[in-house]
Structure 1
């Protein structure tokens, strides 16, 4: 007997939206947690709200979600969402690469803070709260 999960047989658009949503929103939350940790000046990885290995995989999923959104909007399969440019995808890719090579206990590369700040400024909760529909 084959076990079915809830999204088997769903149209590709629904699957795409689900995959995008998970990667995007978990990615943003992880980036915000990383930024808070960096700004706290804590040297202890134990103070980071997300495990470093989880952080790396979520950065990868976030990069994929940005690509998915850009492609989905271009194809007409998805509507709305924040506009995603090639520069955003390049930032997410660079961040993913830096996090994969980072060894917890060592200092983060200085570029990480800049990349995270830029991505959170564009895609984070603060931007969402400023959106006219969320007032």
Structure 2
């Protein structure tokens, strides 16, 4: 094994692959958290009003959970610097949200805990997107 990721980016060093995985999962997760909260706060029960379909939402929240783990591990190993501080409770919250979304039957009532968790995660990590995209 060469230490390179088999994701089509064989020419990139492992650190770059880690950063790319983190960025993709993190920022897509934030966008989905925002869309989910907007939908919840709108009071709509129609899935057509949700900006992302439920299966994509679940997979992106799973990627967000993975991104938080990547960042925590990368900072601990010295392979990554900066980014928002991530602790085990953040990863547990993302995992709980993923679990709730995976067990939710679209069209049925959304568990109330989803809104609280999404708000907590977005409050902590949501403005990171703005900080990293400012020139």
The TM-score with structure 2 as length reference comes to 0.89
The 8 Å contact of residues 27 and 129 in structure 2, kept in 1 or not, is answered as: no
Q: Distance in 2 between matches of 1:112 and 1:6?
A: 35
Which residue, out of 77, 80, 92, partners 1:78? 80
* Residue ranges of structure 2 left out of the alignment (5+ in a row): 1-6
Q: Is 2:36 aligned against 1:34?
A: yes
Residue 92 of structure 2 corresponds to 90
* Residue ranges of structure 1 left out of the alignment (5+ in a row): none
For 1:9, what is the secondary structure of its paired residue?
coil
Query: How far does residue 19 in structure 1 lie from its aligned partner after superposition?
Result: 0.6
Count of aligned residue pairs for this structure pair: 129
The 8 Å contact of residues 22 and 71 in structure 2, kept in 1 or not, is answered as: yes
The TM-score with structure 1 as length reference comes to 0.89
For 2:31, what is the secondary structure of its paired residue?
helix
Query: How far does residue 7 in structure 1 lie from its aligned partner after superposition?
Result: 1.8
Q: CA RMSD in A?
A: 1.9
For 2:81, what is the secondary structure of its paired residue?
coil
Within 5 A, what are the aligned runs for 1:7-46?
Answer: 7-46=9-48
